[in-house]
Amino acid sequence: MNQEDIGAIRLTLELATIVTLLLLLAGTPIAWWLAKSGSRFRNAVGALVALPLVLPPTVLGFYLLLLMGPNGPVGHFTEAMGWGLLPFTFPGLVLASTLYSLPFVVQPIQNSFEAIGRRPMEVAATLGASPFDSFLKIALPLAKPGLVTAAILGFAHTVGEFGVVLMIGGNIPDRTRVISVQIYNHVEALEYAQAHWLAGGMMAFSFIALLILYTFNPAKK
């Protein structure tokens, strides 16, 4: 493994960690709303969140590129705030990855919230707990299996993504070049030995991630 490979591994882990934290922060309230709301927009929001499951990453990457570019609304906003443009930067990668992995985090958490049912929250309310208090002390602890699943899936999925990264981030060493892109580079250059190290590592990592998932969170009988 050369210096660039190690840089790619470091960058990937950094990206996945930040994205997982953001996903849990953003995904939990979205999942709660989807699980509990009677709003007529519920299905539309649910479908929107699930879009990355079925879209090719290039489609999502393409539109994100337009939105975040100099002529897009997000681009206007980030320039007005003095942050510059997000495409081909690490923050741009974080934003795109977060959106792309959102369904992998929202759905397990939503399922957990739905499985709790309304009763424990009603009991908490009759015992004097405000809705937010009940959410923190009852709903979140009861949804722990879903939160663990969500974190593992979000992390692993971010580590494994390629298309969106290439569309938004390109291939800039130590800034946007993650493992999957680096593997692509090695294969392009016919450096199969190097490609094996990274690709094999990814295989092992993904297997272990899923093994942890199934061990601590076995499927319901």
Partner 1 sequence: MSILAEFRLDRPNFLLDIAVEMPGKGVTAIFGKSGSGKTTLLRAIAGLEKEVKGRLSVSGKLWQDEKVFLPVHKRPIGYVFQEASLFPHLDVRKNLEFGYRRRGGRISPEQASEMLGIEPLLSRSTEGLSGGERQRVAIARALLAGPELLLMDEPMASLDRDSKREILPWLEKMKRELEIPVLYVSHSPDEAAALADHLVLIEQGKVQASGPVSELMTRLDLPLAHGEDAESVIMAAIESHDIENHLTTVSFPGGRLHLPYHEIVPGKMVRIRILAKDVSLALDPAQRSSILNILPAKVEEIADDGPGGAMVRLSAGDAKLLSRITRKSVHSLSLAPGMKVHAQIKGIALLK
Which of 6, 53, 123, 203 binds partner 1 (CB under 8 A)? It is 123
| CA distance linking residue 163 with residue 8, whole number of Å | 16
Residues in the chain: 221
| CA distance linking residue 162 with residue 185, whole number of Å | 12
Residue type, 12: T
**Stretch 178-197 residues interacting with partner 1 (CB under 8 A):** none
Tokens of 111: 């399922």
In which residue are the tokens 């999925």 written? Answer: 157
39 is an interface residue for partner 1 by CB under 8 A: no
Residue with Cβ nearer partner 1 (84 or 131): 131
> x/- site string to partner 1, residues 136 to 165, per CB under 8 A?
-xx--xx-x---------------------
208 is an interface residue for partner 1 by CB under 8 A: no
CB atoms within 10 A of CB 99: 18
Residue type, 177: R
In which residue are the tokens 């190290």 written? Answer: 197
How near is the Cβ of 130 to partner 1 at its closest, in Å? 5
How near is the Cβ of 157 to partner 1 at its closest, in Å? 28
In which residue are the tokens 């959102």 written? Answer: 102
Residue type, 25: L
1 is an interface residue for partner 1 by CB under 8 A: no
Of 42-50, 71-79, 128-136, 199-207, which part binds partner 1 (CB under 8 A)?
A: 128-136
Contact set with partner 1 (CB under 8 A): 119-120, 122-131, 133-134, 137-138, 141-142, 144
